[in-house]
Amino acid sequence: MALTKCSEWLTADSRFKSWGRLIRKTEDVDLDRIGGYALTGAWVRWGETISLSSGEFLVCACERGSRNHHGYCYALVEGGDEAREIERDEQEKYIAEGHVTEQERAYGMNSTLQRFALYTSLRIKDLEAKEVEA
């Protein structure tokens, strides 16, 4: 079990929004919704320390930049003995190997938060299936 917080993975600009979502089970992801709305897990305050077990995820998002030119930065963190950030190429590879519709795959490749939702959903389902087999 790893202790972590969003501020360890991204540097937020206090002038703009910053938030986190905790994804612990398949019910925390609703793939019928688009983008960030697909992530329905508990909100996490930016500086709040949380514990992440294996198979649990933390989605971090913050706006950065100037007042005129700012945008969101994102990080997907997986728990375990040590928390680690899941890179985009690993997410895309895992999604490509999963059983998803072409529409779900297209949404996931065009929206960072939708890709996070699709990846976490597939990963949690696979981990739950391995637990049932054991």
Average pLDDT per 10 consecutive residues for the chain, totaling 134 residues: 91 93 93 90 94 94 92 94 92 86 85 93 88 74
Q: d(Cα 46, Cα 67) in Å, to the nearest integer?
A: 20
**98 vs 92: CA distance, rounded Å:** 10
pLDDT recorded at residue 116: 94
Q: What is the CA radius of gyration of the chain?
A: 15
Q: Say how many domains are in the chain.
A: 1
Residue type, 80: G
pLDDT at res. 69: 92
Helix, strand and coil content of the chain, in percent to the nearest 5, comes to 40, 30, 35
Contact at 8 Å (CB) between 42 and 21? yes
pLDDT at 134: 64
Range of the domain at 42: 2-133
Q: What is the pLDDT of residue 101?
A: 85
pLDDT of residue 71: 92
Q: Which residue has the tokens 């690993």?
A: 90
- Please state, in angstroms and rounded to a whole number, the distance separating the CA atoms of residues 81 and 94: 21
**pTM for this prediction:** 0.88
pLDDT of residue 63: 94
CA 80 to chain centre: 15
